[in-house]
A and B are shown apart, each in its own frame.
Chain A
Amino acid sequence: MKPPPFEYHAPDSLEEALDLLREHGDEARPLAGGQSLVPMMNFRLARPSVVIDLNQVPGLSELDAADGVVRCGAMVRERAAERSAVVHERAPLLAAALPLIGHEAIRTRGTLGGSLAHADPAAELPAVALAAEAQLVARSAERGERVLGADEFFAGFFTTALEPDELLVEIRLPEVPAGSGVRFEEVARRQGDFAMVGVLAVLHTADGVIDDARLALIGVADRAVRAREAEAALIGAKADAGAFAEAAATAARDLEPMSDLHGSSAYRKHVAERLVQRALQGAAEAAGVR
């Protein structure tokens, strides 16, 4: 349970970090908060020969909002985001997800960018990125900056569209319409454990009729997923229990979750349906419906 030896670099500029990443490519792993990478190294499931520690790189921990977009540096700690007034006022999806991530002593180190780039299919932040229709900014020494939509960023089980020489440097979260209701529901064995299933619901209504609906699910596939068909069915519907039950059935219908020690595929599917219903109900209440 000790990590294997590695070459350690702590660059103090982004340029240097990107140069190191270009030089070492696949052999290197960037170290953000280390709350996933270090356990994997302790178990020797990950054995990078080079570790590029990003904690000394300036400029990656900014958090601000302008022109309807909340911009988060990739190294913003989850705990810092949790305490941020900007997040609470302008990024309610993120605010809803943060308390569900691990425990306090995990969030004090864990970073927004680290979690997204790790792409755990049961992690909360990918659901936020998908539902918020986030833009993820990647940089490399060779090709400079490119901006990826959340729907193209997550490529599968612990896999993203990032190239080996690319670093996720910023997350841009467009603000949701004012008055949107948000609810993140999940079922885990223990508070702070990875969710067996989680659902993030965002609803906006006008005169009791839904005009914006977003559903992102975690723990049910090889990556976080949007329930597009269920969302489409909600638009134009009255925000009531009947519509939510129907949407939940639609959202769960085509899921094929994996079975593991914690729950069978059928159980996860059942939980997903119930949680969609519950999250929609909660989001409707948060939006002030009824």
Chain B
Amino acid sequence: MTDPVQIDLVVNGQPRSAAAEPRRLLADFLRDDLGLTGTHVGCEHGVCGACTVLVDGEPVRSCLMFAVQARGAEVRTIEGLAEGGRLNPVQEALWNSHSFQCGFCTPGFVMQITALLEENPTPGEAEIREALSGNICRCTGYQSIVEGVLRAAGHDVPTAAH
């Protein structure tokens, strides 16, 4: 039973399947078996949040879940957000706030932000900071990210200087 098992799931609306050992982490499965390298692997022990994806609508650390546990699940990753090659409104708001710099933490943040706004479309700043507390960014100091989420949530935020 340590042999590869067939894993069928839905990723970004598409049925996908691949075989993987039970020890295969969902993050590695997405990246290496399905070729979806948008999900980033940072700390690999659930601290940094870079690998956050949505499983059945809930944000989870994909480094703390085995791919075999996602059989039959609906997974959403950063690749599923843009609509027809165009940034979705959340991505657009983050873009306009220059929320990110190096981009390593970005996919995890954006998926966590997506989960937040789907549950609560109009969070205040404190709720935003609480929701993002599990994601680490080493570039920005977070202000620009919080501002981007405020913008995505429809708050009046001045456009960042270009």
> Which residues of A are in contact with B by a Cβ distance under 8 Å?
1-10, 34-35, 38-39, 41-43, 51, 53, 55, 79, 102-106, 108-109, 190-192
Contacts and interface: CB of A to CB of B under 8 A. Distances in A.
Contacts, number: 92
User: Which of A10, A104, A106 is the most central at the interface, judged by chain B CB atoms within 10 Å of its CB?
Assistant: A104
Given A38-B65, A106-B46, 11 more contacts: A3-B23, A6-B2, A6-B22, A8-B2, A38-B25, A38-B64, A79-B58, A103-B134, A105-B59, A105-B134, A106-B64
Contacts of A103: 49, 133-135
Nearest to A49: B2
A5 B45 contact: no
B63 A7 contact: no
A108 B49 CA distance: 13
A43 B43 CA distance: 11
Contacts of A102: 134
B25 A3 contact: yes
B52 interface: yes
Nearest to A41: B23
A8 B3 CA distance: 9
Nearest to B63: A42
Interface string B101-131: 0000000000010011000000000000011
B5 A34 contact: no
Contacts of B135: 103
Interface in B14-43: 21-23, 25, 28
Contact of A109 (B64, B68, B130): B64
B94 interface: no
Contacts of B116: 104
13 contacts: A5-B23, A8-B22, A8-B66, A8-B68, A10-B69, A34-B65, A35-B46, A39-B46, A103-B133, A104-B112, A104-B116, A105-B49, A108-B60
